[in-house]
Amino acid sequence: MWAVPLGLSLLFVLGVVIWAQRNAHEEREELRRSLISDALSVEAQLRTRLDLEQALLRTLAAQLATAPRSAASLQASPYVSAGFRRLWIGLTWLDARNRIVAHLDNPDMPRDPHLGSEEDAAQPGLSAHLVAPVSTRTDATDGEVAHPHDVNSEKLVARYLPAGLLKRGTPWWITHKYNVRLVDVSEHVLATLEQPDTRWPRRDRTAQQDFTYRVLVGPGLPGTYLELALREPPSSWANNVPLVLVGGFLVLIVWATWLLRQQVRQVLQAESAWRTEAAWRGAMEDSALVGLRARDAQGRLIYVNRTFCEMVGRPADELVGRLPPMPYWPSDALDEAEQRSQRNLAGLAPREGYEAHWVHADGRRVDVMVFESPLVDASGRHIGWMGSMIDITQRKQLEERERHQAEAMAHQARLTTLGEVASALAHQLNQPLTVIASYNSGVLRMLERAGFDNDTVLNALRRQGEQVAEAGRIVQRIRGFLTRRAPQRERCDLPATLHRAVKLLQRDWRHQPVRIDWALPDTLPDVLADPVLIEQVTLNLVRNAIDAGLGAQRQPVQLRIQARAEASLRHVCVCVEDNGPGLQARTIEELTAPFYSTKAEGMGMGLAICRSVIEAHRGKLDAGASSELGGACFRFTLPIWNEP
């Protein structure tokens, strides 16, 4: 025991040394990565600044293409003063033979480069330049732009100091952390922002090369490198080890002394507690894979395992020590749960177990199967009850799901029967509609031949014929849809289709306070759809909205039919809004379920058929309570017709 603290102390010290060395290595690697990242960032800023200056020079050259060839043209351009304010120290206009047409110097710079300011010049007379072609009528034909490398084109040459570029394009925190220089391939320094108080010791000058990085600036400064060198050496890991070692030794010595003192006390306490603990631990181990709880004779919880805590969603600290009623009992069945608990504490729990309903902390219901067994101590005295719980919630849900599936299959069978009946009905209606159309046409021709000139009667017969024809078309399309034939999709004028559907309903509400507002843009594209089926969808939605508003006694009933093109989705969206009572928290899945209806005499098939029609057109039917009129809003989408 005396050797244990010493060995642990040595291991601790060794671990601290390894950690410090590894931490220092990672810090040096991080500094290296940061150096490379900062160098690339500064280089990108310099390149961007050169690109901006080159763009400014090209803009100026384009402006001078039609300007007089004189220094006054240069002086009058605002781009010249902008370039002088930014970076340029001189601007020269050369003709095709490289003769000077005009030249301007930056008025804020000394004319003698040897007298330039220290912040903008690393070496006397050192400068770089940018070139842009000037296209004129003398060196380029109409519509032709001179190439920048064409020796016969005029050009603008802007001179600038690399030191000024380096100073203006380098953030202050970079110069505070690094020595920044511009060097060429011959190691000549073009510009520098190097600080004189570099803190690298002379013996570490070689190590400083590991924290120096160069990157090629780019086409703006060919053959020029940006060099960043770390100004301060990274801290050495060996500087903090002594303090860590001393603190570690002090902690370990105190801990070792306390460990030796507690050792004897723990051995004595463990011997007295082992027998009692081994007895009830053995009972808990028999059902370790299920939820476990131990209760004393009064019903107080004295132990719960992790599975039990997960089952009720509460931590062990909240449960241990609690007396009935328990927080996981259902609030609407507390009396029943209390009676069952008293029965179990009296030893009357069924040996085959019993089902119970609990409530999880998040509010969901949990179904469990509970088994109770006596809990005895080392002397054989009965001290409580040990219970094991099995979560049967998933089994109950599976049984419920199977029941719903059986109901859904029966429901599908009814739908199939209904489809067959509807198909037969459509087939039977087709012949009487044909006969009505024939009789109507015959009566109309007989009246016309007889010279009957009552326009009201004749127009009524013509309208009757049109409506019969329309009814025949509807029956044929519905029959085709019910027999699983694809809709007869064609190029469809959607506004005309919507107006035609609403017109069919106008006679039904002409004596009712109903107002319909239209919001159909003139530029609405045509859609690819079956116009008859789309009329039926619109007619159903409009009739539902009117019935809902009249049933809620809204005065007046207001509807809005609007459409908009969604070019990104290649669809047209149609919205039917009303000022009725709204959806009342019902979802589109519930509203379009077959045989579900909110009307007292409704069959519950209207919206279901509408949804099937829209989905057959590769669209989507949706509903929401976001209408600006205060009621419901039904939306459906149709694909845009494309030119073949």
Please tell me whether residues 171 and 204 are part of one structural domain.
yes
Number of domains making up the chain: 4
* Single pTM value for the model: 0.37
Question: Which of 362, 391, 420 is where one domain is finished?
Answer: 391
DSSP letter, residue 412: H
Can you give the CATH number for the domain in which 537 is found? 3.30.565.10
Residues 381 and 406 in one domain: no
What pLDDT was estimated at residue 636? Answer: 92
Predicted confidence (pLDDT) per residue in 27-45, tens digit: 888 888 888 888 888 888 8
Instruction: Give the pLDDT mean for 389-407.
Output: 79
Amino acid 197: pLDDT = 52
**Same domain for 329 and 450?**
no
Q: Which helix (H) or strand (E) holds 509?
A: helix 494-509
3-state SS class at 638? strand
| Residue 584 shares a structural domain with residue 620 | yes
Domain boundary among 366, 391, 416: 391
Q: What band does 112 get if pLDDT is binned at 50, 70 and 90?
A: very low
* Domain co-membership, 67 together with 152: yes
State the distance between the two ends of the chain, measured CA to CA, in whole angstroms: 92
- Position 574 scores a pLDDT of 92
Task: For residue range 322-361, list pLDDT tens digits in order.
Answer: 888 888 888 888 888 888 888 888 888 887 788 888 888 8
By residue range, what is the domain housing residue 447?
Answer: 397-467
Taking each helix axis from N to C end, the angle separating 162-169 and 3-64, rounded to the nearest 10 degrees, works out to 130
CA dihedral (8, 14, 19, 22) in degrees, to 10, reads -160
In the chain, DSSP finds a helix count (H) and a strand count (E) of 16, 20
d(CA 464, CA 366): 64
**Beta-carbon contacts of residue 80 (< 8 Å; ≥ 6 apart):** 60, 74, 91, 104
Q: Do residues 386 and 534 share a domain?
A: no
pLDDT, position 595: 65
In tens, the pLDDT along 46-91 reads 888 888 888 888 888 888 888 888 888 788 888 888 888 888 888 8
> Is 244 within a domain?
no
pLDDT in tens, 419-476: 666 666 666 676 677 777 777 788 878 887 888 878 788 788 777 877 777 777 776 6
**Residues 381-401: b if buried by 16+ CB within 10 A, e if exposed:** eebbbbbbbbbbbeeeeeeee
Q: What is the DSSP code (8-state) at residue 238?
A: G
Residues 616 and 566 placed together within one structural domain of the fold: yes
Q: Does 259 fall in a domain?
A: no
> What tens digit of pLDDT does each residue of 154-178 get?
888 888 888 888 888 888 888 888 8
Q: Same structural domain for residues 346 and 381?
A: yes
Are residue 109 and residue 184 in the same domain, yes or no?
A: yes
CB atoms within 10 A of CB 240: 14
Mean per-residue pLDDT, 603-615: 78
Q: Sort residue 618 into left (φ over 0), alpha (ψ -120 to 50) or beta.
A: left
Element (H, E) at 490: strand 490-492
Q: Based on the domain organization, do 57 and 205 belong to the same domain?
A: yes
Show which of 324, 356, 391 is a domain's final residue. 391
Tell me the per-residue pLDDT of 185-206, one tens digit each, with 9 for 90 and over. 888 888 888 665 555 555 555 6
pLDDT of 70: 81
pLDDT of the residue at 486:
59
* CATH number of 347's domain: 3.30.450.20
Orientation angle between helical segments 531-551 and 455-482, nearest 10 degrees: 100
- 152 in the same domain as 197: yes
- What kind and span of H or E run contains 128? strand 128-134
Query: Both 214 and 304 in a single domain?
Result: no
